[in-house]
Each structure stands twice: as structure tokens, then as C-alpha cells.
């Protein structure tokens, strides 16, 4: 029997539902969160309320839970926990549980925007100009290599928190004098795309790519989008993922400016827009389960419905006596 533990389920009800459906009759899903008010835990066959991730002994608690529940695989839906899983992969494997996450080096690169920028430039991929030091940025402003507006953002961060679009040197100075660990990044004025990608845990091959054109964003996540296919973009994503060495599920942000593609950021987990891919026929939970059963997946890049729109909306869950 396959048992998958989904950590920090929070409000990601759909992902828990997809795994529950895929395992119906031959496996189970266990969800965790630090709060009983996390609606997604109630979509699983069973759930556990666990300590906060930053509390002492959290890793040991999760390892003990995996061993007690005889977990086959484990994944997290929040960024900070991915580093924990990646860095302690051997401890989970030792008890027979496979973390569905890339290796520590790739995870670290995803959460350090300047490190990602450096990798992309060194490997010949187009990406937004990025600066750690104001002096270098000001020189490029003077020589016309970059122009305002630009973004000032944390080098490490997620969900578009503390990102500011600025239009002057005065604003750049104000932000960088107030806060530490910021960088300056070129504003990409073009069409934004998101790609949900699955890299086989056994073969290491890229077996699925789903592309959506983003129509509207909210709090760093895709709010409205349409599914598209582009062979040039498929090829670019394949080459990038192959060189970077990712594993499992990743979510890539890409911009198209003047008919050229620029890779922006990577989330080494299920992206908030994954339900769009699932609705179009990309069943990543099935890929994961197949790998956990010891089987390689066949390649199905671009095997999905095109011109399908996704529109997010609010829903509620009612529970008595928690």
C-alpha cells in the first residue's frame, strides 16, 4: 500500500484531493498542518496536527510520524520545508520514505534569486538583469544598459512579499538603506508564462511540461490563465531543467519580451496554479505514485488540452467543534 504524507497542507485542498483520488482503493493520503483551521487536512484520509516547522524537534517529529504511518513518500507545499526535506533526504530514505523534492543544491538555488540569476547567465539562458550592488546598477543606468522602472526585492523570499516596483535612484536608495539582503532586478515588460514540470524520480528524465499564459496575478500566484503550447518554449524548458538537475515537481516562471524567452524563477514544489494543469489532463500525483511503486513514467510532454482557461475563486469549508 502506498502512503503519502503531505506536509503543511494549509489551504491547498485541490492537491490533497488529487492524491486522494489517485490512491483510492490502493493507498492513502495523510495531511499535516500546525493548525486545525487548515482546511486541506480534512480532504485527506487522516491528518495530524504537528508543531510549527521552526520549533525544536520538528524534524524528529516528522520522521517518527513517517515511521509510525509507514509512509512511502512525503512532500511539502510550503517553501521553507523543502529545504528541510532536501537536506535530510537520507534520513527519510533510511526509514523507507521518499521525499519528493530536488536535491539541496537545486532547492537552495531556487530560494536565492541572485544565485539563480548567476546560474542562468553562466549557462547561456536569457534572464532579467540582476544586481546585488547599487554601484554596478547605477553605472548600467548611466550607460543605458538598464532603465527604470526596476524591482527591488529580497534576495530570498516567496509569494511576492516585499517586492517594490521603483522609478528612481532615490527610491532604490531608500529601500536598500532601510532593509538588508535586497537586490535590484530588471522589470520584464512582456507576457508571463508558468510551466508545471515533472522530472521522473527514477530515470531523471523530463516527462511532462504544462504551459499556461498568465492573465492575472494575485499575491504571487496565478489568478487567471489559459493553457498554451509552444515547441520553442518546451525545448527551452527541457534544456534548462536538464542542466539544472531538478527532480520531481517544479514550477517555472518565464517571460516573453520581444519574441525572446527569459527564465525568471523556479519553485521546487507544486505551484499554486497546478489545478489548471490537472484540469487539462496533467496528472502529476499519478506520476509520483508510479515512481513510488518503482516504475518509470513515459514521456508525455505537451499532452494536454490547449486554450483552456483557469479562473480562481473563493470557497469555504464549515466544521463543527474542532
In the chain the beta strands, taken as DSSP E runs, fall at 2-7, 27-33, 46-49, 73-76, 98-99, 130-131, 150-154, 164-166, 182-186, 191-199, 206-218, 221-228, 248-257, 260-267, 309-311
CATH 3.30.70.3000 fits 190-311, yes or no: no
List the beta bridge partners of residue 5: 30, 74
Q: CA 40, CA 46: separation in Å to the nearest integer?
A: 11
**Angle at the Cα of 17 from the Cα atoms of 42 and 315, rounded to 5 degrees:** 70
Q: Which residues are within 8 A (CB) of 256 and not within 5 positions of it... i.e. 6 or more apart?
A: 190, 191, 192, 193, 262
CATH 3.90.650.10 fits 129-186, yes or no: no
How far is Cα of residue 68 from the mean position of the Cα atoms in its chain?
A: 28
Q: Tens digit of pLDDT for each residue in 33-60? A: 999 999 999 999 999 999 999 999 999 9
pLDDT of residue 220: 74
pLDDT of residue 157: 72
pLDDT of residue 161: 65
pLDDT of residue 218: 81
Q: What is the CATH number assigned to the segment(s) 2-100?
A: 3.40.50.20
pLDDT of residue 293: 97
**Angle at the Cα of 24 from the Cα atoms of 289 and 226, rounded to 5 degrees:** 65
pLDDT of residue 219: 72
Spans in the chain with pLDDT lower than 70: 158-161
Q: Tens digit of pLDDT for each residue in 282-307? A: 999 999 999 999 999 999 999 999 99
- Domain borders along the chain are 2-100, 129-186, 190-311
pLDDT of residue 234: 98
Amino acid at each position: 500500500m502506498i502512503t503519502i504524507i503531505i506536509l503543511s497542507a494549509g489551504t491547498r485542498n485541490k492537491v490533497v484531493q488529487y492524491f486522494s483520488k489517485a490512491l483510492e482503493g490502493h493507498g492513502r493520503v495523510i495531511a499535516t498542518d500546525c493548525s486545525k483551521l487548515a482546511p486541506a487536512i480534512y480532504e485527506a484520509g487522516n491528518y495530524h496536527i504537528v508543531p510549527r516547522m521552526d520549533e525544536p524537534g520538528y524534524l524528529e517529529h516528522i520522521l517518527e510520524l513517517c515511521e509510525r504511518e509507514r509512509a512511502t513518500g512525503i512532500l511539502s507545499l510550503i517553501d521553507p520545508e523543502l529545504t528541510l526535506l532536501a537536506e535530510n533526504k537520507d534520513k527519510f530514505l533510511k526509514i523507507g520514505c521518499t521525499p519528493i523534492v530536488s536535491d539541496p543544491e537545486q532547492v537552495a538555488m531556487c530560494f536565492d534569486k541572485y544565485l539563480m540569476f548567476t546560474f542562468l547567465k553562466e549557462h547561456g539562458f536569457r534572464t532579467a538583469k540582476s544586481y546585488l550592488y547599487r554601484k554596478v546598477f547605477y553605472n548600467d543606468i548611466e550607460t543605458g544598459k538598464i532603465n527604470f522602472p526596476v524591482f527591488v526585492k529580497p534576495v530570498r523570499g516567496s509569494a511576492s512579499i516585499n517586492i517594490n516596483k521603483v522609478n528612481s535612484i532615490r527610491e532604490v536608495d531608500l529601500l536598500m538603506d532601510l532593509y538588508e539582503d535586497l537586490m535590484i532586478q530588471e522589470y520584464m515588460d512582456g507576457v508571463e508564462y508558468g510551466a508545471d514540470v515533472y522530472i521522473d524520480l527514477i530515470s531523471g528524465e523530463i516527462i511532462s511540461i504544462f504551459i499556461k499564459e498568465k492573465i492575472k496575478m494575485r499575491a504571487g500566484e496565478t489568478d487567471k490563465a489559459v493553457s498554451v503550447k509552444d515547441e520553442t518554449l518546451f525545448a527551452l524548458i527541457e534544456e534548462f531543467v536538464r542542466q539544472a538537475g531538478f527532480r520531481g515537481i517544479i514550477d517555472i516562471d518565464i517571460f516573453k519580451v520581444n519574441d525572446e524567452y527569459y527564465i525568471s524563477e523556479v519553485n521546487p514544489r507544486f505551484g499554486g496554479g497546478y489545478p489548471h494543469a490537472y484540469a487539462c489532463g496533467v496528472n502529476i500525483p499519478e506520476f509520483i505514485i508510479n515512481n513510488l511503486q518503482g516504475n518509470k513514467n513515459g514521456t508525455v510532454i505537451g499532452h494536454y488540452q490547449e486554450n483552456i482557461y483557469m479562473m480562481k475563486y473563493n470557497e469555504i469549508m464549515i466544521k463543527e467543534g474542532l
